[in-house]
Structure 1
Amino acid sequence: MTSMLPDEIAGSPEPVTPTSMASEDNTLGANPKLKTRQRLLNGLHRIASSPSLTRMGRPRASSLGSRRVGKGSMSCVSLNSPTYGQCFADGTTPHLRGPLSRPPAVPSNTPVPQDDHDIPIRLVGAEQPTLNPAGQTSIRVPSDIRPSSRGTPLEATKATEIVNQKQRNIRFWDDTPVEIRMEILRYLTPKEMVRCSRVSKSWNKMCFDGQLWANLDVSAYYRDITVEALVKIIVAAGPFLRDLNLRGCIQLKNAWPSEADRISSVCRNLVNICVEDCRIDRSALHLLLVRNPSLVHVDMAALTTTVTNATVKILARSCPNVEFLDVSFCKRVNSRALRYVVASCPKLRDLRVGHLGGFDNQDLMLEIFKANTLERLILANCATLTDASLKALVHGEDPEIDVLTDLPIVPPRKLKHLDLSRCRGLSEAGIKALAHNVPDLEGLQLSHCTHLGDDAILEVLRTTPLLTHLDLEELENLTNNFLIELSKAPCAANLEHLNLSYCDKLGDAGLLPLLKSCPNLRSLDIDNTRVSDLSMMEICNQARKRGYGNTLPKFGMRVAVFDCGNVTWAGIREVLYNNSHVPRFAGADLSKTPDQSFSPLSSSSFSSLSPSESSSGTCTPVALPSPAPPLEIPLAIYPNEIVQLKCFYGFQMTVDEHTKRVLRGDLASAIRLERKWADFMISTEEAGTGGAGVRRRRRRAREAEMLFNADDDDEGTYGPAGLAPLGRRRRARSGGNCVVM
């Protein structure tokens, strides 16, 4: 037997291994003979479960082909994987023998010893793994964290790196279309765009793109911008520029001589231009007017030396589409030059020529009468305006007179706003010419026309039902009868703004009926008049009629009553109380209040039961009243509109603070302020001046003491019927002094 063992060993082509023994049973197949290098790598792979060795293109070591028969190894366990079922079990059996070891493969007929080391171990709580057809018992490292090795293609890795590189180098702003970038930059203010232009050259080019400057208004920040930057913006935005507002840009005074031709050559699409008080050069202004024939809105006010009659004539020849023209305070312009503008601009709607001269000439007025296109005419402070000129504006020249009405037969004027303030040359005869000829009039200003009285103005007001703005400041001849007749006029329902300041003869008698007839009144100036606290109470009454709501209050009426001697602190307090007071019934709808009343069960309900029912305890159930629905918590209620008051300067600070609290909805603190201020004013009025209040308090204290300690025998201290002077009944006397007894 000993001789046979070396022969068998020598005759065998390869050593006996578990793999070869398993091949005899044809269960796992035969493996080729492993060379030295392969056998070494196979051992290393089994000892250290490195994922890099599995990628080197070498055959994996089989757990059954290992020569190790002793204790099992856990090198096949990969800690990077969340599952470990395949590491502790293979495809042959779900058991582990011994201390986590696998016994060597033996023939099926060989008995297996059962000792402590060979007790099968089953994983508790783990599912039984399924058979892997490839016989793999180790877990591969995930591909996303698996390192690259020799001999493996890197196309997938390179593609991933390229995608990551693109994500890191993405340039969102540069890849955005130009149109979207321009639309984003439109949300910036001009000042912010100038600051952003300093970021880089590309940003500078973007921020000064003409598409962003189609509307250039530098009146709000002209002090904070330099001449070079302003000129650069105008030149860059020239082809796109439509609205140019250079009001107050005095820093361009020295730049106009050198930059006038450059600016006017690029700005050829202007529609609206405003150079009021700009100190623009005359030649530059002429170039802008000549090279922009599409101008519609032209504002050249307060250019006393730049604008002349020649400038107005150039405007008339070059800009036939003008609808708005303002040449107020241009002393070198007169009515003769304006006649060309009215004749050459058929679309002219708004003409403002205040503080100009030459209106004693009727040529301009006759031209305006022929055109009949003006809707707003500002003739404020035109001292040369006379009654004849105003009649020519309204009636024309030699109109036909109606025999029945004695009125000129002329087409009505389209005027909506007429300003004749400070035209001291006008009288009642000229104002009466407006009656029956301006039916669309909405605003009329006649302040400081001291020669006007009640009759002339009332005749005009009776024929202007659409009037909303009326300015009659400092007309000393107006009386309360004028206000009473105004309250009956058709325009009273639409009147919103009324100025009666410095009308000394007006008082409560005329103002009270007017306030009741003007529900839409928003602004009322009655300072330096004879109104009193009664008018203040009526103003509060009209404000209460505008209702209450759940939104924060807002200003509904502005009232100016400073320097009104008859308006006391009590009238001011009435306004404060009205602004912060909300009545209990405000916002309540009593018709929707749930009816919670019900009739309780009476004793007759129980007495009507039969004795059997009552003795047996069975009775007919009685329908109980349903519980009342839960009451809703009411929302906060505020006045819809409050009164904005302008009063005596000693009370104004308190009024302003009270108004702030009401506007932010803090009515409780506003009420406290009003009460504290009222207590202070009462104590101040009681104290008086010169010690009058002290004497008054002492007198009242003496009278109270006399009533308390009055002598019963003193009949003079009591009035008739035994009453004390303040209404106290005389006390009955007791004792032995009764005459009857």
Structure 2
Amino acid sequence: MASTLADEIVSSSAEPMSPASDQMPIEQPPKLKGRKRLLQNLQRMSSSPSLVRRTRSHSTGYQRDRKASLSCVSLSPAQCWGDPTTSIPGDLESASPLSTAGNARIRMIGGSPRNASQTTVPLPADLRPASSSRNLQFELAEEESVTVNVVERKTQYAKRTVDFWNDMPNEIKTKILGYLTPKEIIDTSEFYSKISSGALMKIITTAGPFVRDLNLRGCVQLREKWLFEGEEISSACRNVVNFSVEGCRIDKISLNGFFLRNASLQYINVSGLSTVTNSAMKIIAQTCPQLETLIVSWCCNVDTKGLKRVVESCSKLRDLRAGEIRGFDDESIMECLFEKNTLERLVLHRTDVTDGSLKMLMVGRDPEIDVLTDRPIVPPRVLRHLDIHQCTSITDAGLRSLAHNVPALQGLQISQCTELTDDSVVDVIQTTPQLSHFDMEDLDNVTNNLLVELAKSPCSDTLEHLNVSYCDSIGDIGMLQVLKHCRQLRSLEMDNTRVSDLCLMEASSLVRKRGYGTDLPKVGLRIVVFDCVNVTWAGVREVLSSNAYIPRSLKNQATVTVKESRTDSPSSSSSSSTSLPPPVVVSYYPKEIIELKCFHGWQMTANEHNKRVLRGSLASANNLDRKWADYMMATEEAGAGGANARRRRRRAREAERLYQFDEEEEDLSLDVYVGGRRRARSGGCTVM
């Protein structure tokens, strides 16, 4: 049966069919049944070439243990029902049992080659599901409805952008601004760098007629606005009193135009601007007669010729800061300042001022000399602050002219004037009873004698700030006298000097004498002693322990206060003990403590100790102090050996006793630490 069917298929496929003969009828091949009918429309695609060389028959089922495998079975109609003139791919064509002489058996649609362009056919009726088209339409309709719902939901719940301030009614805005002061409304000092140039320009021009204090320090974003809209800023702001553009990038024309339109200026700060020239000084001299403060330090295009015009025209000038300005060796401007005698602050640091010009400022030209005192007879200067640091041309001859001529002097800075000695400085400090800030850093020629005289001078009661850093000749002899007599000290800088732990102990005694109270402590003295070779950890520990120390008398007084509160209670007459009020606990703290800047390896401990004291945790601070001392002693003992170890341990014990002195002694001088009697204490229990 099978051989007969195969012969019929071969004979029918051996006759070629010519596409040109439309009149010849096409003989339909017999229909296949069963497995062969299914395999007829199968197309095998494999990534392995072993599928082509299979030896099994076409009717054999798929076996998993053979090497050949079916990677994909395609039932695509486009490949099964193609162009009748197109042959099946060679691999399957040669493997097909129905192909003979290179021609494959192709099933035609419609019985005519004209319909060969159709590439799709529906599934047979017996294989097609009954309601597939209806289900497909239902699924498409459902997907469309879901899509529409999602779009509507997104449109419905779109996030709205709310501009809180602009959408608010003007009445509510006015009510809110009514609770603010004018300074709070306009002041942008905390966030000026984050404001855009357009917004800042709008603020300036809108509030221009009402602006009296215009501080644009560091507003570099206004560079283009000053260049192209400087005229608008000057026209809007015509009532400015205080004007500061330090660090701004403002052009020369806009700056001069602003000075021309603001005749009420009293404070001008243009320091560091290269666009400020002598022409600007001329405009200020002509249009700003009310000027009191002028800051032109580091203005490289300004010299004393322009400043002289300002001094001559502005009779109310009180503050002149002209650091790094050329021309102060010219005595003409100093003579003008002497004749006016209105300056209370004069800053001439890093200038070319000389002894002659400084004398001209103090005593004028050819003054009358007193026969008895051999001093010039001139009115005293009203100077309160004089800064001539790093003026290397000044010597003792020039500085001595300040003696007896500046009785109201409060601040004097003569740092890095390397030619000065004790003689001229002593003459000045002995005739300035109101001196409170004295800076003489990096003076190599001064000695401890200067500090001893400072402690004896009238200004010892008013001195608050003293800077003797990098004065190599200064040590404990002079500094101890200052700490004993200058009781108002608030800042003491003595780094890179020869001071030792004795100065730290005396400073601790000075601060403890300022008393105790029930309020939390605050920093009363700042000391800088880093890079001092004679300062050890024992001296640092003395400062820390003194900051957290409370005298025993105050502890007893707190206990008595608690007992009295129980005795004086209205319910004390009652026999029932439950009616007594709760005890009142009184905590005492030092009024002031020392903030210490020391060796960087100890600085973190000092900072943490100060934090605990300032928040009132004295017990915690004492605990930190003891642990740090144990660690430092253990470190020294571990790094020493032999007889040297015994010496180090003895020194550690002596340092331990230093801060265990008897606070109840009336005299808290240095004798307690050096030669006085020390009382041994265990230090194990602390009662607050």
Which range, TM-score by smaller chain?
A: 0.5 to 0.7
Q: Give the drift of 1:221.
A: 2.3
Measured in 2, the distance between the counterparts of 1:693 and 1:672 equals 31
Residue aligning to 2:591: 640
- 1:570–1:257: structure 2 CA closer, same or farther, 3 Å change rule? same
Which residue matches 1:377?
346
Q: Deviations over 1:527-580 (max 9, x none)?
A: 111111111110110111011111111000000000000000000000010011
CA distance in 2, matches of 1:553, 1:392: 48
Shift, 1:296, TM fit? 0.5
Corresponding residue number in structure 1 for 2:125: none
What amino acid does structure 1 have at the position aligned with 2:280?
A: T
| Counterpart mapping for 1:624-703 below 5 A | 633-688=584-639, 691=641
Deviation at 1:634, TM superposition (A): 3.6
- CA 1:233–1:385 in structure 2 vs 1: closer, same or farther (change >3 Å)? same
Distance in 2, matches of 1:644 and 1:655, equals 8
Aligned to 2:270: 300
The 3-state SS of whatever aligns with 1:466 is: coil
Q: CA deviation at 1:585?
A: 1.0
1:279 is displaced (CA, Å) by 1.0
- CA drift at 1:299: 0.2
Whether 1:482 aligns to 2:477 is no
- Structure-to-structure mapping, 1:170-209, within 5 angstroms: 174=169, 176=171, 180-184=175-179, 186=181
Partners of 2:558 and 2:191 in 1: CA distance: 57
Cα deviation, residue 182, structure 1? 3.1
Paired letter, 1:250: V
Structure 2 equivalent of residue 561 of structure 1: 529
Which residue is 1:207 aligned to?
none
- Name the count of aligned residue pairs: 474
Classify 1:693/1:644 alpha carbon distance in 2 versus 1 (closer, same or farther; 3 Å).
farther
**In the alignment, which residue of structure 1 is the partner of 2:301?**
332
Q: Deviations over 1:401-428 (max 9, x none)?
A: 1111010000000000000100100000
Deviations 1:195-242 (A, max 9, x none): xxxxxxxxxxxxxxxxx43xx454x42321111111111111111111
Calculate the TM-score normalised by the size of structure 2.
0.65
The 5 A counterparts of 1:232-251 are: 232-251=202-221
In the TM superposition, what is the alpha-carbon distance from 1:668 to its structure 2 partner?
Answer: 1.2
Percentage of pairs with the same residue = 53
What do the CA deviations read for 1:470-515 (whole angstroms, capped 9, x no partner)? 0010111111111111110000011000001011111111111111
Is the contact made by 1:217 and 1:244 (CA closer than 8 Å) also made in structure 2? no
Give the distance between the partners of 2:182 and 2:168, measured in 1 at CA: 16
Find the aligned partners of 2:313 and 2:172 in 1 and give their Cα distance.
Answer: 46
Question: 2: CA distance between counterparts of 1:590 and 1:226?
Answer: 59
Kept in 2, the 8 Å contact 1:336–1:363? The answer is no
Distance 1:391 1:295 in 2: 32
Matches within 5 A, 1:525-674: 525-586=493-554, 633-674=584-625
* 1:455 is the counterpart of 2:427: no
Provide, for residues 32-57 of structure 1, a one-character-per-residue CA deviation record: whole Å limited to 9, x for no partner: xxxxxxxxxxxxxxxxxxxxxxxxxx
SS at match of 2:459: helix
Q: Kindly tell me: are residues 530 and 269 of structure 1, through their superposed partners in 2, closer, same or farther at Cα, counting changes over 3 Å?
A: same
Contact 2:212 2:239 in 1 (8 A): yes
Question: What is the CA distance between 1:630 and its match in structure 2?
Answer: 8.5
Alignment partner, residue 367 of structure 1: 336
CA separation of 1:232/1:684 partners in 2, compared to 1, >3 Å: closer, same or farther? same
Report if aligned partners of 2:205, 2:236 keep a CA contact under 8 Å in 1. yes
Alignment of 1:249-264 (within 5 A): 249-264=219-234
Residue 176 of structure 1: how far off its partner (Å): 4.8
For residues 507 and 648 of structure 1, the distance between their equivalents in structure 2, rounded to whole angstroms, comes to 18
AA in 2 matched with 1:249: C
**SS of match in other structure, 1:676:** helix
How far apart, in 2, do the equivalents of 1:678 and 1:414 lie?
52
Match of 2:412 in 1: 444
Equivalence for 2:358: 390
Asked if the contact 1:480–1:507 (Cα under 8 Å) also holds between the matched residues in 2, the reply is yes
Q: Which residue of 2 aligns with 1:270?
A: 240
Alpha-carbon contact 2:562-2:584 (below 8 Å) kept: no
More helix by share: 2
Residue 694 to residue 285, structure 1, CA distance change in 2 (3 Å): same
- Alignment CA distance shift 1:346-1:587 (3 Å): farther
C-alpha distance in 2 between matches for 1:589 and 1:400: 65
Amino acid corresponding to residue 232 of structure 1 in structure 2: K
Q: CA deviation at 1:633?
A: 3.4
Q: 1:548·1:587 contact (CA, 8 Å) conserved in 2?
A: no
CA distance in 2, matches of 1:233, 1:175: 18
Question: Aligned partner of 1:388: which letter?
Answer: G
Structure 2 stretches of 5 or more lacking a match? Answer: 1-166, 565-576, 651-688
* Amino acid in structure 1 at the alignment position of 2:250: I
The answer to whether the Cα contact below 8 Å between 1:335 and 1:358 also exists between their aligned partners in 2 is: yes
* Matched residue SS, 2:179: helix
RMSD: 2.9
Distance 1:694 1:487, change over 3 A: closer
Partner Cα distance (2:609, 2:378) in 1: 54
Q: How far off its partner does 1:250 sit?
A: 1.4
1:653 match: secondary structure: helix
Q: Distance in 1 between matches of 2:562 and 2:172?
A: 63
